[in-house]
Amino acid sequence: MKFANIALTGVVITASSLCQIDAFTLQSRGLTNVGITQYHYRQHQHMSVSPMEETENASSSDAASRTKIENELASGKILEDGPVIDFGSIKDTTSKAERALANAREEYIAAIHSGGKGAVELGFAGDGDSRLMGINDEVVQEVGREVGSFCSDNTKVQNCAAYLRSNAPKGLFESHDDARLMSERDMKTMDTSSLVALLDEAYEESGLVTEAFAKTFYLGTQLLSEPAQKAIWAVYVWCRRTDEIVDAPRKPEDVNMLTDLSAWELRLENLFRYGIVEDVLDLPLLDCKIKYPNLPIEPFVDMVRGMLMDIPDLGQDRYDTFEELHLYCYRVAGTVGLMTMPVFGCAKGYTDAVAKEPALSLGVAFQLTNILRDVGEDAVTRGRIYLPRDDMKKFGVTEEQIYAQKLDDNYIAMTKFQIERARMYYERALRGVPMLSPESRLPVQSSLDCYGKILEKIEENGYDTLTKRAYVSKWEKLATIPFSWYRTLDISKVLPLPGDN
């Protein structure tokens, strides 16, 4: 499974006229409840628009016709000159995978209502029967030891959750029988320091998982403040566990993946609505929600939908157009940007609503980079080709050629086109870095620079992504940090580094 490991929040507005589009083109494809963000057309030159300006006048401008917008969506050029689509909470009524998950969810809810939670077997864990959900052989092997086994005392876990809920902003969580609060008397008589230590240990475990699976991402978190660093780890571990639930190989006798995923979704909803946790690795995400109350649940739910798109026989192993691939990129990568926006924060005068555009753009950039880097590996080992069929046809590249790992001029030309597309998304996100809170600019800029180097490695490899894997070493990543730091300074806008705009 591919979900991007870091995302950007900030804002880029480069336009001279403002207009809105509706969801007619997407609804015609069976996609509903899609939100369309305002977007801007560059007519003659870039203009900086203050984030404090009113945007209600958007609906008054009808510069772009429906036909023009539809053509842009279909062309794949949803870049500097086109719309930014917010696919948040979109439901694909034609998706076999989404229908299957909905049915599994109904069956799971009916089962627990009739027989309780114990009536449904959950938690595929490979060789470890007592492992937490989403922790399996692959995770243990990658980390180098068992994960989440440091606390088997569920009472202590629930006491820690009660302690955290008691310190949450008033009204953040609804009341629930399984989500008690800790009274002032309990706080005085109970050893709360041990609960804080348990939370710290859960965060430390989350950091280990993050480092094991996402080294570039983890390197970026080292440049954050400790609270923000821990929050990003909490988000990543939830994403990692979700990925393992969906993607881990299962035997016929193992628990059905859709049943596990239904339970996992309900756990997520209960955590965000009531502050309920099920195991010790849920505690960091609960603490993150309390410290960042505007953390939305929607991108978490949307990421599940993205991972469903990768399930063999249920999901999608081919994409006809870039529009279809764009939805996938939002769900598995753009969502990470929306999850991390409240943690990174915005500079004074900017809001999450304004920052949404570059967060989504960088998610797409990172996911396109992943896809380009892994074309050969995805085809040979997974039977998947993410490159849009329209693009392949345009450049004369065939599926047979990709499976045969045959590099020719057609494939090189297509790869150059895809790199250009990805870089334009990077550019769109890059100008938003100054709109971040000052303490978040360097880690985001450095992560952006490190990930962008993968495209350079593809070029150095002669555009061969069929038999070679573009790789950026740890030392190369570390070497980019001074340059990334300089790019966050105001002087870099006057005296840019060689090659920078």
Contact 42, 16 (CB under 8 A): yes
Inter-residue contact 255 to 121 (CB < 8 Å): yes
In whole angstroms, what is the distance from residue 436 CA to residue 351 CA?
Answer: 10
Q: Does residue 402 register a pLDDT over 60?
A: yes
pLDDT at 431: 75
Which residue shows structure tokens 């077997």? 121
- Average pLDDT over all residues of the chain: 80
The b-or-e profile of 282-298 (16+ CB within 10 A means b, else e) is bbbbbbbbbbbeebbee
Confidence of residue 221 (pLDDT cuts 50, 70, 90): confident
pLDDT exceeds cutoff 90 at 389: yes
Question: Distance from first CA to last CA of the chain, Å, rounded?
Answer: 34
- Please list the residues that pair with 85 across neighbouring strands: 36
Q: Determine the pLDDT at residue 234.
A: 97
Residue 75's pLDDT is what? 42
441 or 291, greater pLDDT: 291
Highest mean predicted confidence (pLDDT) among 61-65, 121-125, 313-317: 313-317
Range from 265-274, 465-474, 487-496 carrying the lowest mean pLDDT: 487-496
What is the spatial distance between Cα 320 and Cα 281, in angstroms, rounded to a whole number? 39
C-alpha to C-alpha distance for 192 and 186, rounded to whole angstroms:
9
| Region 473-479 average pLDDT | 88
140 Cβ contact list (under 8 Å, min separation 6)? 126, 128, 131, 146, 147
The residues near 289 (Cβ < 8 Å, ≥ 6 apart) are 172, 271, 272, 275, 295
The set of residues, in sequence order, having a beta carbon less than 8 Å from that of 59 and lying 6+ positions away, is: 20
Asked whether 261 and 98 are in contact (CB, 8 A), the reply is: no
Cα 64 to Cα 60, 72, 265, 378, distances in angstroms: 12, 11, 39, 38
Q: Work out the average pLDDT over 63-81.
A: 42
Q: Would you say 295 and 289 are in contact if contact means Cβ atoms under 8 Å apart?
A: yes
pLDDT tens digits along 106-144: 999 998 888 877 777 776 554 445 789 999 888 999 999
How many CA atoms lie less than 13 Å away from 284 in the CB half-sphere? 23
Number of other CB atoms surrounding residue 8 within 10 Å: 32
Q: How far apart are CA 50 and CA 350, in angstroms?
A: 9
Helix, strand or coil for residue 35?
Answer: strand
- How far apart are alpha carbons 440 and 418 in whole angstroms? 29
- 479 bridge partner residues: none
Residue with the bigger pLDDT between 180 and 61: it is 180
pLDDT at position 418 is 96
User: Do the beta carbons of residue 80 and residue 42 sit within 8 Å?
Assistant: yes
Q: Cα–Cα distance between 405 and 377 in angstroms, integer? A: 10
What pLDDT does residue 360 have? 84
**Which residue has tokens 């573009």?**
470
- For 334-354, letters b (16+ CB in 10 Å) and e give bbbbbbbbbbbbbbeebebeb
* Phi and psi, residue 18, nearest 5°: -120, 135
Overall size of the chain counted in residues: 501
Q: How many of the other CB atoms lie within 10 Å of CB of 484?
A: 22
Average pLDDT over residues 271-277: 96
- With both helix axes pointing from N to C terminus, report the angle between 438-460 and 409-430 in degrees, rounded to the nearest 10: 170
Instruction: Say if residue 42's pLDDT is above 50.
Output: no
Burial of 164 (0-12, 13-18, 19+ CB in 10 A): buried
Tell me the per-residue pLDDT of 222-258, one tens digit each, with 9 for 90 and over. Answer: 888 899 999 999 999 999 999 999 887 777 666 788 9
pLDDT tops 50 at residue 34: no
Per-residue pLDDT at 2 exceeds 70: no
What local confidence, expressed as pLDDT, does residue 93 receive? 60
Which is more confidently placed, 234 or 4? 234
Give tens-digit pLDDT for 334-377: 898 889 989 999 888 887 777 788 888 888 899 999 999 999 99
User: Residue 218 pLDDT > 60, yes or no?
Assistant: yes
DSSP three-state, residue 17 = strand
> Higher-confidence residue: 349 or 276?
276
To 5 degrees, how large is the angle CA 328–CA 447–CA 474? 115
Question: How many beta carbons lie within 10 A of that of residue 154, not counting itself?
Answer: 12
Q: Does the pLDDT value for residue 89 go beyond 60?
A: no
CA 3 to CA 234: how far, in whole Å?
Answer: 15
Three-state SS at 342: helix
Radius of gyration of the chain (CA): 23
Q: What is the largest CA-CA distance in the chain?
A: 74
User: Is 287 in contact with 164 (CB distance < 8 Å)?
Assistant: yes
What band does 46 get if pLDDT is binned at 50, 70 and 90?
A: very low
Do the bridges between strand 91-92 and strand 85-86 make them parallel or antiparallel, or are there none, so unpaired? Answer: unpaired
Coil/strand/helix, residue 358 = helix
Mean pLDDT to the nearest integer, 400-409: 96
Answer for the pair 71, 58: CB distance below 8 angstroms, yes or no: no
- Beta-bridge mates of residue 436: 346
